[in-house]
A and B are shown apart, each in its own frame.
Chain A
Amino acid sequence: MTPKRIAVVGGGTGGTLLANKAVSLLRSEVSSGRVEVHLFADSSEHVFSPGNIDIAFRGAEPSSFRRPERNLLDRRVLLHERAVERVNLEERAVYVDSERLNYDYLVIATGSVARPDAISGLKETSYNFHTGQEDARRTWEALQRFNGGRVLVLTNIPHKCPPSPVEAAFLVEELMRKRGIRERVEVLFATPYARAYPAAAIAEVVEPLMEERGIRLYTMFNTDYVDPKERKVYSLEGEEIGFDLLITVPPHRGADVVFKSEIGDEEGWVAADKETLRHPKFDDVYVVGDATNIPISKSGVVAHLEAIVAAENIAADYLGTGKVYCYTGRINCPLELGGSRAVFVAATYERPPSRQRPSLMKYLMKRAFPAVYWEMLRGRVDPVFDLYLGKPYKVKGVGGA
């Protein structure tokens, strides 16, 4: 009998966790050879990308945020350390090195790509910590060389990790104080949103702290272009800001494979139902994490929780249980505010984030998370999260609501 194949494209948080979860939910089918779980990863190394903040603004060692992908996977996951060229949803096929692999279920977990080249003048003038560990390291080196002037932290949308631009501004300010040159440095923070943080309750915490630390805030600033000669950024709203050192979160786009496969919108995001994570036209295709067009934060937390929901739905469909798992839209993103304090931005599709007091405990939890992350990818930490935060889904259908 030909085994049923689950093909997972993308070896980031969502893809890795989903592959492990699918094996766990279909253990006997996988062990008996009735189901195969294939994971396609571009790289043999898995990078914990939130670590880029620590590399760029604390000088952390990049290798501490990398692990071999194989070591993070259940041994029964069939890992292909090869980039997928394209997928064809009509043919139900994945193409790699001109070879074709047919699937019964496809999971698109191809993430997002920071693209400073998407804005004229941005790439050649800016330091970016969303474009990989090397660039995060260069940002740290630039901050070490900087001896005074104006640092502009510039946010562009869409981007992953909503807290990261605010964190960058606070950590730059803190670093300048630690280096003893704060009085010679202006720190500016420009954001496309109407306030320092998109969620109002969190902005109410962030904005007074920015004022207290002397971080000048520019809201509703959507970058039009950067003039490298003048060293000025111009906005679609008609403003301009000059800089001596430009640190950006560039606009993000979907992965190359999405564009090559012509399965996304103009920015490369793939359509998915925001509850079931299923593609609206192909019921054997699921999309998780940054790759989706769902209006929710592009973050590791979302990729993690969506991967669980999609894996549950694939297993339920294969086993014919009649259950449908619906993601609640839960997010729970740590936001560091400098001074060893942090808050957690927590919300669902129905409940906006609430105001909270920055705390040392939340900061310590954030700093401890990289160590937990590797275990989380194996699905071992979810019972603890569920105990405190509840399940990230509601179940409909047989036995559900």
Chain B
Amino acid sequence: MRRVVDARGSFCPGPLTELIKAYKSAEAGDEIELLATDPGAKSDVSAWAKKSGNEVLEIKDEQGYFRIVVKVVRKGR
């Protein structure tokens, strides 16, 4: 299942909050498509995915925003 999370215009608390909210209710195998304008989102999401063992499938510059697709691979211990 793919879920679109629109965090455009969010700088505080920011797109990672919206991504993690979606992640908490996702199942392994789901994809989360995050839309963001915060320039920090690309590095934040990549760092979080690496640490949490999840996978960034795509980071794309759209007109005026970024599209980041994360695949949920694992949750918790």
Contacts and interface: CB of A to CB of B under 8 A. Distances in A.
Contacts, number: 89
A162 interface: yes
B55 interface: no
Interface string B27-44: 000000000001110011
B47 A220 contact: yes
A199 B11 contact: yes
Nearest to A297: B12
Contacts of B20: 157, 192, 222
A198 B21 contact: no
Contacts of B17: 157-158, 192-193, 198, 295
Interface stretch (A30-38, A90-98, A231-239, A306-314): A231-239
Given A194-B47, A198-B14, A238 B77 contact: yes
A54 to B, nearest CB: 22
B6 A238 contact: no
Contacts of A200: 40
A195 B38 CA distance: 14
Contacts of A195: 44
Q: Counting chain A CB atoms within 10 Å of each CB, which of B11, B21, B77 scores highest? A: B11
B67 to A, nearest CB: 16
Interface in A326-352: 329, 331, 333, 345, 347, 349-352
B50 to A, nearest CB: 9
A353 B40 CA distance: 12
B16 A192 contact: yes
A349 B11 CA distance: 7
Contacts of A331: 12
A303 to B, nearest CB: 15
A219 to B, nearest CB: 8
A267 B24 CA distance: 11
A193 B38 CA distance: 14
B47 A157 contact: no
Contact of A198 (B9, B13, B25, B77): B13
A137 interface: no
Contacts of B38: 352
Nearest to B36: A295
A144 B18 CA distance: 36
Contacts of A295: 6-7, 9-10, 15, 17-18
A266 B21 CA distance: 10
A14 B46 CA distance: 36
Contacts of A198: 12-14, 16-17
Interface string A344-383: 0101011111000000000000000000000000000000
Interface of A: 157-158, 162, 192-195, 198-200, 202, 220, 222, 224, 234, 236-238, 266-267, 274, 295-297, 329, 331, 333, 345, 347, 349-353
Interface of B: 6-7, 9-18, 20-21, 23-25, 38-40, 43-44, 47-48, 51-53, 75-77
15 contacts: A193-B14, A194-B43, A198-B17, A202-B12, A222-B20, A224-B77, A237-B51, A267-B21, A295-B9, A295-B10, A296-B9, A297-B12, A333-B12, A345-B12, A350-B9
Q: List the 3 closest pairs (A to B, CB-CB), nearest first.
A: A349-B9, A295-B10, A194-B44
